[in-house]
Amino acid sequence: MRFIRVVAALALAIVSSSADAQQSAADSTLEARTSVVASQLRCPVCQGLSIQDSPSELSQSMRAVVRDQLKAGKTPDEVKAYFISKYGEWILLEPKPHGFNILVYALPILLVASGLGVVFVAVRKWTTPTTLN
């Protein structure tokens, strides 16, 4: 009888620890997914910080909303769409590449290309031997 009790207790402990481990894994996965989404959303009361990095109370509340929505089965895009519907596209730290936003992506490339062009022309000019009359 005592042996059966010990075996039952052991079995219960194994099942319980396995359930805990599963729960813990699920929690850490949810936290990781929350971090990914939260790091793409802008903190409304900060300067250039994501709600993942901001210590403000509003950011903490927004992170809780992200976590709850992911837990409820929403996809990261659906969570972001929710925040866009409330705050506009401004809430995204990286604006979507369409319309006027394309400038944000195109302008740096254009500036670097023109800078390289200027350097190339200048270097060629400096290295070309001048003809003496």
Partner 1 sequence: MNWKRALIAALCVVPVVILFGYGLTRDPKDIPSPLPGHEASPFALAVFAPGQAELARAVGDSMKLNDLKGEVVVLNFWASWCLSCRDEHQILSETAKSYAGKPVHFLGVLYQDEAANGTKWIEQMGGQTYPSVLDPGARTAIDYGLYGVPETYFLDKHGKIAYKATGPVNERIIRHFVDSLMAVQEK
State the maximum Cα–Cα separation within the chain, in Å, rounded to a whole number: 116
Contacts of 54 (CB under 8 A, 6+ apart): 43, 45, 46
On the 0-12 / 13-18 / 19+ scale of CB atoms within 10 A, 65 is middle
Closest to partner 1 by CB, 15 vs 115, is 115
62 touches partner 1 (CB under 8 A): yes
86 touches partner 1 (CB under 8 A): yes
Residue 59 near residue 46 (C-beta atoms within 8 A): yes
**Binding partner 1 by CB under 8 A: which of 2, 5, 85, 109?**
85
**Binding partner 1 by CB under 8 A: which of 65, 76, 92, 93?**
65
**Cβ 89 to partner 1 shortest distance, Å:** 8
**Binding partner 1 by CB under 8 A: which of 17, 28, 39, 61?**
61
